[in-house]
Amino acid sequence: MTRRILPFLALALVSGCASQRLAGADLDRVRRPAFISRIEDGAGPKSLVFREDSAYRNKLKKLEPVEADRRLTVKLLQAVTRFEVSERLRVTTLSQLPREFPWTHVVDPARVASVLESFLVEEVPANAPDYDLVASLGADTIVEFVIVDYGMRSDDGRAGAYLRGYGRMFTLDGRTEVWRRPFALDQVDQGKPHLDPFKVGKDPSLFRAAMTSMLDEVARTFVQDLTPKDRGGAPPPARGGSAGSDVVPGKAGAPAPVATPAPEDGLAPGELPDPDP
């Protein structure tokens, strides 16, 4: 019997008691929002495929499941970097928001990244940012996206990508939280087509495509949440900046070092077995 360790929900996005709807009146009071997207330390990418699903044991032969997961993790890192994952969520959400106040007066993301010393940083800091530094840029509100866990898992020989985290909005004056949306996407629970881990081992872009799809799905939900219908129509300030131009980062980052495998597994260094024909 496959051992399950992740309490995922079958539905793509969860909106339980931890959620908080954004009221139109709260959005009307926002004058200068700043967007932050980050990944918690140890969030991933993780491979929980081979250790937690014995369906692959015969395929692995002499390759230990722990080592197979380590090798697949390296492939996941090659597919999409942590920086790209966090930036994709922020950029996609911001680009889809309507061109109306306050989204036309977002603090330039490059200035936010610069003041937080995260511009072009591959490993997103684990600790929460110093939000007061963002206030120095004239921001009055933070829209923050946090990814807490992502990677691949498997159940009874069916593998897929997963992604968990939350989005929130809070005021810098008093840290009052006015919106929160947790999310949990799991391709296995959703019944998505099998994402063959051995094919991912040969073509990591398959994992990149899966992550892109999930991140874009989360972004669409965020956009819906951040455009409440009960707004009163707050007037824009007399002067203010507009959202800076954003481009989804390209593929970047050197692959993680690969340890030399034990000779008896018969595989090239760092490689998984070939997928079935």
- Integer distance in angstroms from the first to the last C-alpha of the chain? 26
* Residue 84 located in a structural domain: yes
Local structure of 30: helix, strand or coil: coil
* Residue 183 located in a structural domain: yes
Q: Which residues pair with 107 in a beta bridge?
A: none
As a whole number, the mean pLDDT across the chain is 84
Q: Could you report the per-residue pLDDT of 159-179, keeping only the tens digit for each?
A: 999 999 999 999 999 999 999
Question: What pLDDT, on the 0 to 100 scale, is given for residue 255?
Answer: 45
Q: At residue 49, does pLDDT exceed 80?
A: yes
Low-confidence winner among 61-75, 110-124, 183-197 (lowest mean pLDDT)? 110-124
Q: Evaluate whether 267 touches 195 at the Cβ level (below 8 Å).
A: no
| CA–CA gap between residue 161 and residue 211 (Å, rounded) | 7
* Residue 216 located in a structural domain: yes
7 or 195: which carries more pLDDT confidence?
Answer: 195
Full domain range(s) for residue 172: 24-228
Q: At residue 243, does pLDDT exceed 70?
A: no
* Residue 241 located in a structural domain: no
Question: What pLDDT, on the 0 to 100 scale, is given for residue 11?
Answer: 36
Nearest CA to 124 out of 158, 99, 147 is that of 147
* Residue 160 located in a structural domain: yes
* Residue 273 located in a structural domain: no
Q: At residue 96, does pLDDT exceed 90?
A: yes
**If pLDDT is split at 50, 70 and 90, which confidence band does 3 have?**
very low
- Chain-centre distance for alpha carbon 51: 23
Structure tokens at 265: 């597994």
Q: Which residues pair with 145 in a beta bridge?
A: 37, 167
* Residue 233 located in a structural domain: no
| CA–CA gap between residue 169 and residue 230 (Å, rounded) | 17
**If pLDDT is split at 50, 70 and 90, which confidence band does 263 have?**
low
The mean pLDDT of 31-56, rounded to a whole number, is 95
Structure tokens at 124: 């997103």
How many structural domains are present in the chain?
Answer: 1
Q: Could you report the per-residue pLDDT of 121-147, keeping only the tens digit for each?
A: 555 455 678 899 999 999 999 999 999
* Residue 28 located in a structural domain: yes
**If pLDDT is split at 50, 70 and 90, which confidence band does 41 have?**
confident
Question: What pLDDT, on the 0 to 100 scale, is given for residue 159?
Answer: 98
Q: Cα–Cα–Cα angle for 10, 13, 17, nearest 5°?
A: 100
**If pLDDT is split at 50, 70 and 90, which confidence band does 116 have?**
confident
